[in-house]
């Protein structure tokens, strides 16, 4: 990873932002931690679901809505910020998203009923969607091709360190403060820190010549092109499916590990192992993707994912499945997602250099809403065993392969793609 200023084939910073500069290393860390605010908002509350459910009188699987409502609303919300970011720039939209993330974190901490908390979590996910949608657009403003896949992989390495430690942080806050509400206070503090960093260091990356009008037919046309182009739609839907399976695990993980396998006290550690494996694989992807190409790497990983998911289904169908078979296989599939997610996203965004904000929003909307809805459904199917999750992982991976084949017209393992100037 380079520490010098972005150069070479990257596009110049807009004239309005030439007073600021940022190196590649810092940009990657900043984009990763922006996206990690979203991950922290999801995963830090997981260890507190039992306490939250007891405090607010929630029964059964309904506690999962604290996660599902945020994910689904965030997916819907990603449709909005891209068009405004293509017109007014990335910075103003980021600041707006961060403001709502902070304000609604505080509001969640003050919620007096479960219905109020769900409504606030949905609002938090919707209005803070810019911290999910804009980092890929900011990277696409500067680079393309397999180099974008490399940078996005490095971003995911850092980003995934947060889910690895977020449950432990949440559990630590719960033990130290004795109240799940303080976890939302920590979310607000994280948002404040990111706002200050972005304000001081991030230049405006939207090029003057790429600014779009706030004109509904233009916005509609740009977004429609981003989700209808055959060469990319299969990758958007494919990633929605495989990450829907991941969201299903996140939704049900606390109950699955705590109830089905009786290892609730080990939940933060197990979750950290799985997320950590995903971070390591993203780092590995960043080392090989420019050499072999995003298509070759992600296609091989998808076939491997299907094989591991089939093994998960076989073990889950046995009457005596243990934690020691479930965790290695789940960690293996999360590792394989590290070779799929960033590469699928980069391939899908590649043709849309001049409308990266709208394209990132439209693709993020389709990916997040589909994935979140599917994940919520998978999580709600939890029946005290790992079988529903295993079936979902296998089914979504196979269907993802079908969509990729449609985009690639039946030909897989394409060559590396050079960066565009």
Rounded alpha-carbon distances, angstroms, from residue 226 to 82, 86, 274, 361, 383: 12, 14, 32, 9, 38
Domain assignment of residue 362, yes or no: yes
**Using CA atoms, how far apart are residues 225 and 369, in angstroms rounded to an integer?**
18
Domain containing residue 185: CATH number: 1.20.1250.20
Check residue 312 and give its pLDDT. 92
pLDDT above 90 for 20: no
Backbone angles phi, psi at 323, to 5 degrees: -60, -30
Contact 295, 413 (CB under 8 A): yes
Check residue 230 and give its pLDDT. 84
Check residue 421 and give its pLDDT. 44
Residue with structure tokens 């969607």?
129
Contact 81, 130 (CB under 8 A): yes
Check residue 269 and give its pLDDT. 84
Q: Please compute the mean of the pLDDT values over residues 173-178 and round it to a whole number.
A: 87
Check residue 5 and give its pLDDT. 39
Backbone angles phi, psi at 372, to 5 degrees: -70, -45
**Average pLDDT of the chain, as a whole number:** 82
Phi-psi region of 384 (alpha: psi -120 to 50; beta: other; left: phi over 0): left
Question: What are 273-332's pLDDT values in tens digits?
Answer: 887 888 888 888 888 887 888 889 999 999 999 999 999 999 988 888 888 888 899 899
Check residue 192 and give its pLDDT. 96
Per the model's pLDDT, the better-predicted residue between 13 and 346 turns out to be 346
Beta strands in 25-128 (DSSP E): none
Question: What are 140-169's pLDDT values in tens digits?
Answer: 788 766 677 778 777 777 766 776 778 788
Per the model's pLDDT, the better-predicted residue between 244 and 104 turns out to be 104
**Using CA atoms, how far apart are residues 115 and 1, in angstroms rounded to an integer?**
46
Domain assignment of residue 265, yes or no: yes
Domain assignment of residue 16, yes or no: no
Domain assignment of residue 93, yes or no: yes
Contact 170, 44 (CB under 8 A): yes
Contact 391, 313 (CB under 8 A): yes
Nearby residues of 316 by Cβ (< 8 Å), 6 or more positions away: 326, 385, 386, 387, 389, 390, 391
Q: Please compute the mean of the pLDDT values over residues 387-414 and round it to a whole number.
A: 89
pLDDT above 70 for 2: no
Name the pLDDT band for 420 (thresholds 50, 70, 90). low
Strand partners, 23: 5
Domain assignment of residue 116, yes or no: yes
Total domains present in the chain: 1
Backbone angles phi, psi at 5, to 5 degrees: -65, 150
Strand partners, 5: 23
Domain assignment of residue 316, yes or no: yes
pLDDT above 70 for 334: yes
pLDDT above 50 for 3: no
Joined together, the tokens standing for residue 18 give 């030439």
Q: Please compute the mean of the pLDDT values over residues 73-99 and round it to a whole number.
A: 87
Check residue 419 and give its pLDDT. 54
Instruction: Identify the three-state secondary structure at position 23.
Output: strand
Name the pLDDT band for 126 (thresholds 50, 70, 90). very high
Taking Cα atoms as reference points, which of 51, 269, 67 lies closest to residue 174?
51
Q: Residue 112: how many CB atoms within 10 A of its CB? A: 8
Domain assignment of residue 392, yes or no: yes
Domain assignment of residue 175, yes or no: yes
Contact 99, 308 (CB under 8 A): no
Name the pLDDT band for 9 (thresholds 50, 70, 90). very low
* Residue 35, domain extent: 22-202+225-407
């Amino acid at each position: 990873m380079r520490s010098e200023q972005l150069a070479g084939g990257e596009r110049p910073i807009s004239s309005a932002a030439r007073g600021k500069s940022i190196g590649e290393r810092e940009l990657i860390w900043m984009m990763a931690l922006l996206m990690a605010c979203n991950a922290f908002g999801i995963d830090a509350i997981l260890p507190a679901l039992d306490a939250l459910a007891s405090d607010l009188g929630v029964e059964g699987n309904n506690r999962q809505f604290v996660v599902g409502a945020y994910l689904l609303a965030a997916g819907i919300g990603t449709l909005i910020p891209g068009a405004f970011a293509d017109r007014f720039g990335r910075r103003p939209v980021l600041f707006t998203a961060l403001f709502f993330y902070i304000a609604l974190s505080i509001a969640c901490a003050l919620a007096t009923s479960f219905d109020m908390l769900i409504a606030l979590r949905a609002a938090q996910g919707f209005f803070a969607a810019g911290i999910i949608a804009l980092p890929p657009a900011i990277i696409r403003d500067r680079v393309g091709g397999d180099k974008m896949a490399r940078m996005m992989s490095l971003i995911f390495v850092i980003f995934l360190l947060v889910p690895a430690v977020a449950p432990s942080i949440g559990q630590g806050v719960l033990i130290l403060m004795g109240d799940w509400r303080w976890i939302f206070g920590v979310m607000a503090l994280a948002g404040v820190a990111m706002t200050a960093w972005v304000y001081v260091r991030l230049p405006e990356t939207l090029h003057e010549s790429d600014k779009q009008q706030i004109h509904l037919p233009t916005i509609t046309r740009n977004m429609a092109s981003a989700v209808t182009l055959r060469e990319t739609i299969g990758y958007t839907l494919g990633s929605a499916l495989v990450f829907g399976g991941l969201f299903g695990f996140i939704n049900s993980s606390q109950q699955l590990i705590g109830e089905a396998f009786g290892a609730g006290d080990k939940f933060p550690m197990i979750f950290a192992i799985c997320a950590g494996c995903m971070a390591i694989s993203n780092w590995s992807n960043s080392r090989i993707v420019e050499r072999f190409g995003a298509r070759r790497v992600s296609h091989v990983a998808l076939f491997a994912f299907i094989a591991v998911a089939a093994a998960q289904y076989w073990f889950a169908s046995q009457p005596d499945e243990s934690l020691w078979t479930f965790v290695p296989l789940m960690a293996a599939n999360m590792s394989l997602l590290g070779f799929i997610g960033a590469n699928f996203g980069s391939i899908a965004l590649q043709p849309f250099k001049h409308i990266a904000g709208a394209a990132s929003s439209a693709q993020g909307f389709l990916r997040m809403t589909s994935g979140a809805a599917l994940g919520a459904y998978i999580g709600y199917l939890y029946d005290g065993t790992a079988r529903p999750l295993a079936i979902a992982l296998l089914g979504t991976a196979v269907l993802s392969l079908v969509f990729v084949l449609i985009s690639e017209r039946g030909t897989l393992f394409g060559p590396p793609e050079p960066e565009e100037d």
